[in-house]
Amino acid sequence: MAIAFPPRIVCSEKSTIEKAVMVSPSSPVPPVILTQDELKKIAAYKAVEYVESGMVLGLGTGSTAWFAVNRIGELLQQGKLKNIVGIPTSKKTHEQALSLGIPLSDLDKHPVLDLAIDGADEVDPYLNLVKGRGGSLLREKMVEGACRKFVVIVDESKLVDHLGGSGLAMPVEIVPFCWKFTAYRLQRLFEYAGCVAKLRTCGENGEPVVTDNANYIVDLYFKKDIGDLKVASDSILRLAGVVEHGMFLDMATTVIIAGELGVTVKNK
């Protein structure tokens, strides 16, 4: 199935930035208002254009990556892609890929991937990311850290001036043992940025969210810029009890951003 772009969109490609811009007709036409899901689908379909037959692919997790995985399955069924091997980043993506007939493997058999496609919760001007609000940050970082090219797909609402700038969660996966102690230490670590650390829980019952790796997630909320991201990363990872955090630094090679005026492609 071909992707349905808004009417009268023209794409022009440059070496590092590609924009699809609305063309104003001679007579006024009401603007096309796209939903967030439509923007996600546009970005996902554009990312799948990077996929070639014979590739080993990292298959991302989340609402945007879902469209990309579906598209890959569709192209396989149509015979337009062949000999694809997928490495899923979560149990949920594993189930989705199996339902679509995408052959799957793991990092033990394929330690180097050709390409990974995934969404992000935040993207800063340097293409650093926050990921993991869907709870799969550890597996995502393992898979996407093993690929030659990492294509990130987002809608324009995910763009921030600095990581944590949305005011939403920056996830940290931790072991369940003495989780309150670990959460307290994480909060103290970023006290200068007004950090609040909260255990992620399930709905009304208040039970902790458990990751695919049987760990908990502590979400960090910042009121101010946390400063040097590599220093922040190292500080988090040095805390005993921390498994991984959701800052993906210097990992994305391409970010595809879908917005009301079209698609922008940024390359590292």
Can you give the pLDDT at residue 34?
Answer: 85
Query: What is the overall mean pLDDT for the chain?
Result: 90
Least confident span in 26-40, 51-65, 73-87, 156-170: 26-40
> DSSP assignment, residue 167?
S
Residue 54: inside a domain: yes
User: What percentage of the chain carries pLDDT values higher than 90?
Assistant: 83
> What percentage of the chain carries pLDDT values higher than 70?
88
Confidence tier at 31 by pLDDT (50, 70, 90): low
Give the active site residue among 38, 140, 173, 244.
140
Look at residue 111 and tell me if it is in a domain.
Answer: yes
Q: Does residue 52 carry a catalytic annotation?
A: no
Contact call for residues 222 and 245 (beta carbons, < 8 A): no
User: What is the spatial distance between Cα 94 and Cα 174, in angstroms, rounded to a whole number?
Assistant: 23
State the residue range of the domain holding 93.
36-260
Asked whether residue 7 is domain-assigned, the answer is: no
**Largest separation between any pair of C-alpha atoms in the chain:** 66
Of 83, 145, 138, 91, which Cα lies nearest the Cα of 113? 145
DSSP character string of 173-232: EE-STTHHHHHHHHHHHTGGGT-EEEE-EETTTTEEP--TTS-EEEEEE-SS----HHHH
So what's the pLDDT on residue 203? 79
**Which tokens is 105 given?**
């493997």
Give the pLDDT confidence score for residue 30 in this predicted structure.
57
- Determine the pLDDT at residue 16: 34
- Calpha distance 125→104 (Å, rounded): 34
Average pLDDT (158-181) is: 97
Report the domain count for the chain: 1
Contact 173, 250 (CB under 8 A): no
228: in domain: yes
Report whether pLDDT(74) > 90.
yes
30 occurs within a structural domain: no
The per-residue pLDDT for range 78-130, each reduced to its tens digit, is: 999 999 999 999 999 999 999 999 999 999 999 999 999 999 999 999 999 99
Whether 266 is covered by a domain: the verdict is: no
The reported pLDDT for the residue numbered 84 is 97
Binning pLDDT at 50, 70 and 90, where does residue 14 land?
Answer: very low
- Residue 105: inside a domain, yes or no? yes
- CA angle in degrees (0–180, nearest 5) for 38-44-45: 90
Pair 56, 113: CB distance under 8 Å: yes
Is 27 inside a domain boundary?
A: no
C-alpha–C-alpha distance, residues 8 and 58, integer Å:
33
The C-alpha angle with vertex 212 and arms to 115 and 101, in degrees rounded to 5, equals 50
What's the average model confidence in pLDDT over 237-246?
98
CB 131 within 8 A of CB 219: no
One-letter amino acid at 148 equals R
Q: How far apart are CA 150 and CA 113, in angstroms?
A: 10
> Order of strands across the sheet with 17-22?
9-13, 17-22, 262-267, 254-259, 147-155, 113-119, 56-59, 85-88
Q: How far apart are CA 224 and CA 230, in angstroms?
A: 17
Question: The CATH number of the domain where 225 resides is what?
Answer: 3.40.50.1360
217 vs 21 pLDDT, higher one: 217
Tally Cβ neighbours within 10 Å of residue 130: 26
